[in-house]
Amino acid sequence: MGFSNTIYNSIFKRTSTMALAIVASAFFFERTFDLATETFFDKYNEGKLWKHIKDKYE
Amino acid sequence: MLKPASVPGYFKSVSQVVSNQLNTGKQIAILPKKSVVYIPWSSTSPAALSKALPTGNVSVSVGPAVTSQVRWAHTDITVPDFTNYRRDGTKNPAAKSDKSEDSRKNFTYLMAGACTVGTAYAAKAVVTQFISSMSASADVLALAKIEIKLADIPEGKSVTFKWRGKPLFIRHRSASEIQAEQSVPVSSLRDPQHDNDRVQNPSFLVVIGVCTHLGCVPIANAGDFGGYYCPCHGSHYDASGRIRKGPAPLNLEVPPYTYPEEGLLIVG
């Protein structure tokens, strides 16, 4: 009750704070999401990418 | 209307038994109430007429042109169970809804906010893609730079390179040339610029070999000032690429360049 009340009054009640929270969380979301998808892509294509076979040719 | 036929009904007789058991035989007749003459009502004023007129919903419930079917609100219809559609905080009918108000609002706004975050991420990715498609591609950018080893240019010589489709002059100046260009009074120049403002390293002059008059390519180590000479209309540039004589209005252009390491020059 007290926690959700604080969250509601400090973030969601005003459009300005809500927009600010969205922009801030979008920043962190982008970093996290990009990192996660990149890691997945590298893992899925293990051994096929240039950075995995680079040492054989240089 | 008090009709004569109904008059006997208004007469009642009651016998009263007295407690001393003596029947006095006295009978009390209760007379009917005072008869009222009914005068038919007639509307003579707007106020009276408005009382007589029907108000509210007027409907015909019976008649040849209307259906006589009547729908009854049956009390045997059970109220549907909306529990599956209710938030957890409002499932209990005895609980106060304002106790869970903030958490329910938080959930709604959190969902909306999460959707907006995802949309903002997608929108940013799309916009970035579009904008980056407008910038030069990597092969164009690779051609836009030129790397020059300065050890290949002997002192006193001007070498011409091609850079972004234009001739690029790099001149290895001798100490006497540097001395001469440094001491030229700036006020005497058409396009006043000191030699220090035109070179990063005084030994090497880097200019674009396009005459500022009409775009011819000047000839190195020629002209009255020992720098460049444009054969088209006779513009004389000095060893700092500054216009000294002839029709050209401006000094030779200095491109952006850097010395990333000793003996290496990168233009662009």
Which residue type sits at A55?
D
Higher per-residue pLDDT: A22 or B58: A22
User: Which residues does chain B have within 8 Å of residue A23's beta carbon, measured at their own beta carbons?
Assistant: 120
Q: Is the pLDDT of residue B204 over 70?
A: yes
Q: Can you read off the two tokens belonging to residue A15? A: 């459009």
pLDDT of residue A24: 96
Averaged pLDDT, B156-181: 84
Touching check for A22 and chain B: CB below 8 Å? Answer: yes
Q: Is the pLDDT of residue A42 over 70?
A: yes
Question: Do the strands B264-267 and B166-172 form a parallel or antiparallel pair, or are they unpaired?
Answer: unpaired
Active site residues of B: 233
pLDDT of residue B3: 53
pLDDT tens by residue, A14-36: 999 999 999 999 999 999 999 99
Model confidence at B57, pLDDT cuts 50, 70, 90, reads confident
> Is B121 in Cβ contact with A33 (below 8 Å)?
yes
CATH code for the domain of A41: 1.20.5.260
Nearest CA in chain B to A30: B121
pLDDT of residue B122: 96
User: Which residues does chain B have within 8 Å of residue A8's beta carbon, measured at their own beta carbons?
Assistant: 102, 105-106, 109
pLDDT of residue B36: 81
Q: Is the pLDDT of residue B259 over 90?
A: no
Nearest CA in chain A to B122: A30
Averaged pLDDT, B40-49: 75
Q: Is the pLDDT of residue B231 over 60?
A: yes
Averaged pLDDT, B180-203: 83
Give the closest of A1, A18, A30 to B109, CB-based: A18
User: Which residues does chain A have within 8 Å of residue B88's beta carbon, measured at their own beta carbons?
Assistant: none
Q: How many domains does chain A have?
A: 1
Model confidence at B115, pLDDT cuts 50, 70, 90, reads very high
Q: Is the pLDDT of residue B40 over 80?
A: no
How far separated are the first and last CA of chain B, in Å rounded? 121
Averaged pLDDT, B20-45: 70
Model confidence at B23, pLDDT cuts 50, 70, 90, reads low
Query: Which of B97-101, B138-142, B161-165, B210-214 shows the lowest per-residue confidence on average (mean pLDDT)?
Result: B138-142
Instruction: State the smallest CA–CA distance between residue A25 and chain B in angstroms.
Output: 7
pLDDT of residue B159: 84
Q: Is the pLDDT of residue B1 over 50?
A: no
Touching check for A38 and chain B: CB below 8 Å? Answer: no
Domain residues for the domain of A45 are 2-57
E strand or H helix at A23 = helix A15-44
> Is A25 in Cβ contact with B113 (below 8 Å)?
yes
pLDDT tens by residue, B78-109: 888 888 998 888 888 888 888 888 889 999 99
Q: Do residues B242 and B198 touch, judged by C-beta distance below 8 A?
A: yes
Instruction: State the smallest CA–CA distance between residue A34 and chain B in angstroms.
Output: 10
pLDDT of residue B61: 64
pLDDT of residue A19: 95
Nearest CA in chain A to B119: A26
- How many Å apart are CA B164 and CA B253, to the nearest integer? 14
Give the closest of A7, A11, A29 to B121, CB-based: A29
Q: Taking CA B4 as the corner, what is the angle to CA B3 and CA B7, rounded to the nearest 5 degrees? A: 95
Average model confidence (pLDDT) across chain B? 80
What dihedral do alpha carbons B235, B236, B242, B243 form, nearest 10°?
A: -40
Give the closest of B103, B117, B118 to A4, CB-based: B103
> Is A25 in Cβ contact with B105 (below 8 Å)?
no
Model confidence at B5, pLDDT cuts 50, 70, 90, reads low
Touching check for A7 and chain B: CB below 8 Å? Answer: yes
ipTM value of the model? 0.87
Instruction: State the smallest CA–CA distance between residue A5 and chain B in angstroms.
Output: 6
pLDDT of residue B26: 61
Model confidence at B245, pLDDT cuts 50, 70, 90, reads confident
Chain B residues contacting A via beta carbons under 8 Å: 99, 102-103, 105-106, 109-110, 113, 116-118, 120-121, 124
Q: Please report the DSSP string for B92-135 in residue order.
A: STTS-GGGSHHHHHHHHHHHHHHHHHHHHHHHHHHHHHHHHHHS
B168, burial (CB in 10 Å: exposed 0-12, middle 13-18, buried 19+):
buried
pLDDT of residue B128: 94
